[in-house]
Structure 1
Amino acid sequence: MIGGSTSLFNNRFLKMRVHKIFKIFILRLTFTSKRTLVFYGFVLGFVTMVIMQPHLVANRNTGSREGKELQEDTIERLLSEEKRSDGGDDRLAQAVLNRTRILCWVMIRESGNVKARALRATWGKRCDKLLFFGVDDEFSAIDLRTQEGKRYLAAKTFTSLKYIHKYHINDAEWFLKADDDTYIVMENLKYFLSDENPESPVYFGEFFNPFDTKYLRYNSGGAGYVLSKEALRRYGELSLLRSVCADPMGPEDKEIGYCLRHLGVEIGDTTDRMGHSRFHYDRADLHAVGDAKQWYRDFMGDRYRQGTDTMSVYPISFHYLHHYDIHMLEFLFYRLRPHGVFKPFQEVNV
């Protein structure tokens, strides 16, 4: 009891002492000059800074460390979210896809075209813009009011080029023509074109050289060919001035090559750095085993080779496909993978 009274007395004495000191301090401040007050304030601020600085530094470092960890966690989360749902990683392909714009145009010759349906459901959806030319409401096809049939295909192609130049030249840097029985690996095409200049007068495809006195050289129509923006511009602005680009009735790919050559458009090399082919006028299996038609062997000359080791690991096109072949290639390219086998990206552009 005595100890408790002593403690209580000491507390009261301490409070009274502090109160008295505070009153004396206030009274002195009242009769102190402004210069002295400024000095007191400076001293008080300096003392406060010395006392608090270690705590502020610790908090700042902690905050910086937490912020860095949060940033790393965010980046890791975003990277994981960008990965495909099936466990694959297509970020490199997406970067190439987003960098190079391609307008694709396809000729359709019949209503209820099952090949065109397969094309639209597979590789066609990877085009930046996809146009169908023909008479078919299902595909919102553009009716060029040209005659149908193989002998009129060249005239139809020339007319489609005029249409694209007039309405879509600013929609892409490259313009791909493909048949409805062609399959295009869009990632591989864009990868190849990523090193090419769309402002150069050039067009790419599978190069044919029939040693014909008129046609000389051109790109295969069936394998698909792609024009640069400058090549399309030259056709749109100069073709009407050249009789060589009149609407002909000859073979479509030969007439296109003949026209573009006279407009100063060059044929670009599409083989990879190992000399392997990327565009293919026929099916993959026939190219692999070398079961090619004689005219193709003649057109290719000493460039004709057979076997899977002559085709690029990043092929761009195959031709003469049924609708089920198109779906099968889609499955093989984008779904089928051997377990545990991973092959890193190879640089094959020249």
Structure 2
Amino acid sequence: MAFVTLLSYGTSVTEILSERPTTTLVITTGEVGSSYGSSSSSSSSSLSSPSGAIAAKSSYPDLFEEVRIVCIVLTYADNRDKATHLKATWGKRCNRLIFISNQDDQDLGAVDIGVEDSHDNLWTKTRQAFSYVYENLLHEGEWFLKADDDTYIVMENLRYLLYGYDAQKPIYFGHKFTYDDNVYMSGGGGYVLSKEALKRFIVDSLNNETLCLKAQPSSEDFEIGKCLTSVGVMPGNSMDPIDYTQRFHPLPLRDYVQPDAMDWLPGWLFNRSLEPIQTGPSCCSEYAISFHYLESKDMYLYDFFLYRMKVHGIEKQLRALPSKISSEIG
């Protein structure tokens, strides 16, 4: 079904579904923080990765400037406090952060796009959000992240994933679901479109009723997945290449890490996830990107453990940047 449409755009489905940048590992004795490099005084040593690759890199380019991401957060006026806490934590690491709401709020950075807030209007709101960004903020990024106001994003790890990919190719990333022979990304776990993917969605798909459902009550993540597929946008592989664990998560971390989590996680997570779900202490990628259904206090908790807390005597292992993918997509 959808795959036939993909092939008509001249792209090999199996190529992009399996394609991911080569990743290597590097150990550095420099301080590990929110930046990507170590100081010139840091020493590094090579380490063989499970794939046999060798890394001996001790510094990185400035990925904040090289992988520019516009963050689009769906919220509403009654959730202003929650949006404020998001802005104070991971939102400040976006190249541009914009809240899509039902009320303008200059201090927060929220824009009223004229859609009444309700769950039934979520697909309408998502369509309008991307249309607004395309018309007003396209020049501010190469990648366009959609998240909810209860989603936490590790922006550095997202840039690390995206570094190997060309934003001029039609691709998007997230936690991959499948339903009714369609592949799409979990809305709650966040998904990110390349600039070319956004252009195809707005220009080629959005107003074509044969390709993209008109605004009406429906699941926004499922519908945008169908719209993107219809114009040859590929669902990229975001699984960790070292241990094949998930990087985007539709649930909070606490739901995955307990040893008995497999017994009580919701059935839809297993039934719809295209790739395997792991639980317990090794449930998630060391370079995890997103978690969903967080309270405001969780935003600060995640921020503390990720960016402030250190464990004396434990050095961090850093992976070298992935290689750029050279094959043609789209």
TM-score (norm 2): 0.75
1:311 to partner: Cα distance: 1.2
**In the alignment, is the contact (CA less than 8 A) between 1:202 and 1:266 conserved in 2?**
yes
Determine whether 1:255 maps to 2:200: no
1:301 to partner: Cα distance: 6.3
Query: In 2 relative to 1, CA 88–296 (structure 1 residues): closer, same or farther, beyond 3 Å?
Result: closer
Amino acid at match of 2:198: L
Please give the secondary structure, in 2, of the residue aligned with 1:308: coil
Structure 1 equivalent of residue 63 of structure 2: 96
1:241 to partner: Cα distance: 4.5
Q: How many residues align?
A: 263
Give the unaligned 5+ runs of structure 1.
1-82
Structure 2 equivalent of residue 192 of structure 1: 161
1:176 to partner: Cα distance: 0.2
Give the unaligned 5+ runs of structure 2.
1-29, 38-59, 324-330
Aligned partners of 1:307, 1:129: CA distance in 2, in Å?
35
**In the alignment, is the contact (CA less than 8 A) between 1:202 and 1:268 conserved in 2?**
yes
Query: In 2 relative to 1, CA 321–136 (structure 1 residues): closer, same or farther, beyond 3 Å?
Result: farther
What does 1:5-154 correspond to in 2, within 5 Å? Answer: 90-92=35-37, 95-111=62-78, 113-134=80-101, 135-137=103-105, 138-154=107-123
Structure 2 equivalent of residue 270 of structure 1: 238
Q: Deviations over 1:168-187 (max 9, x none)?
A: 11210000000000000000
1:192 to partner: Cα distance: 0.7
**In the alignment, is the contact (CA less than 8 A) between 1:103 and 1:130 conserved in 2?**
yes
**In the alignment, is the contact (CA less than 8 A) between 1:272 and 1:349 conserved in 2?**
no
Query: In 2 relative to 1, CA 89–171 (structure 1 residues): closer, same or farther, beyond 3 Å?
Result: closer
What does 1:164-243 correspond to in 2, within 5 Å? Answer: 164-210=133-179, 212=180, 216-243=182-209
Query: In 2 relative to 1, CA 240–322 (structure 1 residues): closer, same or farther, beyond 3 Å?
Result: closer
Structure with greater contact order relative to length (CA < 8 Å, sep ≥ 6):
2
Please give the secondary structure, in 1, of the residue aligned with 2:72: strand
- Greater shift, 110-119 or 145-154, is seen at 110-119
Aligned partners of 2:282, 2:222: CA distance in 1, in Å?
29
**In the alignment, is the contact (CA less than 8 A) between 2:160 and 2:321 conserved in 1?**
no
Aligned partners of 2:70, 2:97: CA distance in 1, in Å?
6
Q: Deviations over 1:325-350 (max 9, x none)?
A: 11100001001111121113124858
Aligned partners of 1:322, 1:300: CA distance in 2, in Å?
24
Aligned partners of 1:310, 1:140: CA distance in 2, in Å?
35
Across the aligned residues of Structure 1 and Structure 2, the Cα RMSD in angstroms comes to 2.1
**In the alignment, is the contact (CA less than 8 A) between 1:272 and 1:348 conserved in 2?**
no
1:89 to partner: Cα distance: 7.9
Q: Which of the two has higher C-alpha Rg?
A: 1
Q: Which has the higher strand share?
A: 2
**In the alignment, is the contact (CA less than 8 A) between 2:177 and 2:273 conserved in 1?**
yes
Please give the secondary structure, in 1, of the residue aligned with 2:301: helix
TM-score (norm 1): 0.71
Aligned partners of 1:129, 1:165: CA distance in 2, in Å?
13
Q: Deviations over 1:279-320 (max 9, x none)?
A: 000000112223420111111267232223231111100000
Aligned partners of 1:172, 1:88: CA distance in 2, in Å?
24
Aligned partners of 1:340, 1:113: CA distance in 2, in Å?
41
Query: In 2 relative to 1, CA 89–347 (structure 1 residues): closer, same or farther, beyond 3 Å?
Result: same
Give aligned-pair identity as a percent.
Answer: 37
1:112 to partner: Cα distance: 5.2
Please give the secondary structure, in 1, of the residue aligned with 2:112: coil
Aligned partners of 1:112, 1:298: CA distance in 2, in Å?
31
Aligned partners of 1:263, 1:320: CA distance in 2, in Å?
31
Q: Which has the higher helix share?
A: 1
Quick one: which of 309, 334, 337 aligns to 2:307? 334
Amino acid at match of 1:257: G
